[in-house]
Amino acid sequence: MATAAATLPPPLPAVRRVHHWQERLAQGLLVACCAALILFLFAPLFMILVKSVQDKDGAFVGLLQFQQYFETPALRQSIVNTLWIATAVTGVTVPLAFMYAYALTRSCMPWRGFFRVIALTPILAPSLLSAISFIQWFGTQGLLKGLLGGASIYGPIGIILSSIYATFPHALMIVLTALLLSDGRLYEAAESLRTPTWRKFFTITLPGAKYGLVSAAMVVFSYTVSDFGIPKVIGGNFSVLALDIFKQVIGQQNFNKGAVVSLILLAPVFVAFVVDWIMQGRLQSQFSSRAVPYAPKPKRWFDGAMLAFCVVVALLLLAVLGMAVYTSFIKLWPYDLHFSLRHYTFGLIDAGVIVSFWNSVKMAAATAVFGTMFIFGGAYLLEKTTGMNGVRKLIRLLAAIPMGVPGMVLGLGYILFFNHPDNPLNGLYHTLTILVLSTVVHYYTSSHLTAVTALKALDNEFEAVSASLKVPFYKTFFRVTVPVCLPAILDIGRYLFVNAMVTISAVVFLYAPQTQLASVAILNLDDAGEIGAAAAMATLIVAASSLVCVVYAGVTRLLLTRTQAWRKPSAAG
């Protein structure tokens, strides 16, 4: 060993690069990005950990509060309730979404584009809308109350039905992607071997979609576990974890207990998130760029059956949305069904609640604009500049976290961190700014991934070429990177806007009377028994989000035709 060591050349002093101010600038911005994520994501979550092991007076008590929690039967019941509700929702939504996606991708039924749009409409609505709608259909005065055979919609049934409605489009999008990525050549090969249809389904379709299915299941599961709006409106006395946090924090002002419940809620969501993350990775790697899309051939019976299925599902979805909209436009369900705008005029405008709608629009617009700038800029610095590899790793990790954190937990973290008297930033508390910040952070992961995917599709050497031509990196960013990635940037903006319009769980802890948001207003109106006005507010949200989506579609189409000259056909399609 000694001789071997002696023959090694002596360690040379490392070559220290001189850094150009442009590199320093990029690295400075990267560090700023990282600092922002630590401040607005990590620190609040860390505060929850701290609070969960402290008592009300701030003394360290270890796991005592967890012990107390588990000794309270009612609270323990919440865990069981939450898990079985989420399991039931997942068990229904995922097969339903799979079947629907199967019809859209593997059949030749007519109006596939139309059915796709209908199935995605629930994304535009706050989750509360479905709860209100189910109350109208099946509640005490419901039209179809008889169908429940004496059971009450207020409770698990209502939660499950509303959650299925709310999660359906999320599951559908994931499964749809998985099915679209499958390689048509596999089916051609199978056909040349005279494989029967059912065998193709079990040997090609299902295995191809399996990661997508698991991923969809995880997303549905964590959505249901995390959502507190639905159980609040339609849950009756049925307790779930998300609602417990709300009760502890808002009802009893017991932040420490809230922190404990948050961590318990975090556990299943985080597990689901990790599984989903792995599945998404496999889904990506499974996709080969040379795959040929599958082109279905018309088959009368199959197409007919698929069409029938989609019509039924679409009608059910429309019935939920339609009932809420309808409720907002009639005098009083079910006694006076005359058309009336009084829920809008009296219920919202005269009552002054309409302010929350404009707050929401402002908040969503700010989230879309600033969020997109920050997220895309951050992703650019991360992917296309060099140096500071430690910081880069940290940002990658931090950017992945929000998807695994329920909104309630994030919101509570924000209270604990920003409402702390010693925090110099506590002036932010109750402002519109903090609502924007929390929403950007809450929806960070998906947007970040969209940005990273778009950036990765660019040639890796653009930055090297600019450097060799002595053009500063930010010039190339604005002249090349942004224009080429504009479709993705618009997509991120729309995603943030739509979600900011409907989000409730994080912001419910953070608003002040003057910054109340539309979704929170629905909750309060519903509490006050103003279900007509609540429906009107929900309708306004859907209208605003739809408008933004239509504008987005228009702008994107215009953009793609304008830039058709240089975008390759594959990029435009």
- Interface positions with another protein (CB under 8 A): 12-20, 22-23, 459-462, 464-472, 475-476, 479-480, 483-484, 563, 565-568
CB of 478 to another protein, least distance (A): 11
**What are the structure tokens assigned to 547, written together?**
């408008």
CB of 373 to another protein, least distance (A): 20
As to burial, measured by CB atoms within 10 angstroms (0-12 exposed, 13-18 middle, 19+ buried), residue 33 is: buried
Residue position matching structure tokens 């101010």: 21
Q: Decide whether 90 or 481 has the Cβ nearer to another protein.
A: 481
**Alpha-carbon distances of 233 from 170, 416, 535, rounded to whole Å:** 21, 26, 12
Q: Decide whether 6 or 469 has the Cβ nearer to another protein.
A: 469
> In one letter, which amino acid is 37?
L
Q: Decide whether 297 or 479 has the Cβ nearer to another protein.
A: 479
Cis peptide before 406 (omega within 30 of 0): no
Helix axes 482-502, 444-456, angle to 10 degrees: 170
Q: Decide whether 146 or 390 has the Cβ nearer to another protein.
A: 390
CA distance linking residue 209 with residue 199, whole number of Å: 15
Q: Decide whether 9 or 196 has the Cβ nearer to another protein.
A: 9
CA distance linking residue 206 with residue 269, whole number of Å: 25
Q: Decide whether 274 or 464 has the Cβ nearer to another protein.
A: 464
Contacting residues for 205 by C-beta, under 8 A, at least 6 apart: 102, 106, 179, 182
CB of 483 to another protein, least distance (A): 5
Q: Decide whether 311 or 458 has the Cβ nearer to another protein.
A: 458
Q: Decide whether 76 or 562 has the Cβ nearer to another protein.
A: 562
CB of 559 to another protein, least distance (A): 11
Q: Decide whether 18 or 193 has the Cβ nearer to another protein.
A: 18
Buried b (16+ CB within 10 A) or exposed e, 213-236: bbbbbbbbbbbbbbbbbbbbbbbe
> In one letter, which amino acid is 304?
G
**What are the structure tokens assigned to 526, written together?**
């519903």
Contacting residues for 393 by C-beta, under 8 A, at least 6 apart: none
CB of 454 to another protein, least distance (A): 13
CB of 289 to another protein, least distance (A): 15
Spatial CA neighbour of 92 closest among 220, 179, 240: 220
Helix (H) or strand (E) holding 171: helix 156-180
CB of 573 to another protein, least distance (A): 14
CB of 1 to another protein, least distance (A): 18
The alpha carbon of residue 263 and the mean position of all alpha carbons in its chain are separated, in whole angstroms, by 20
CB of 182 to another protein, least distance (A): 28
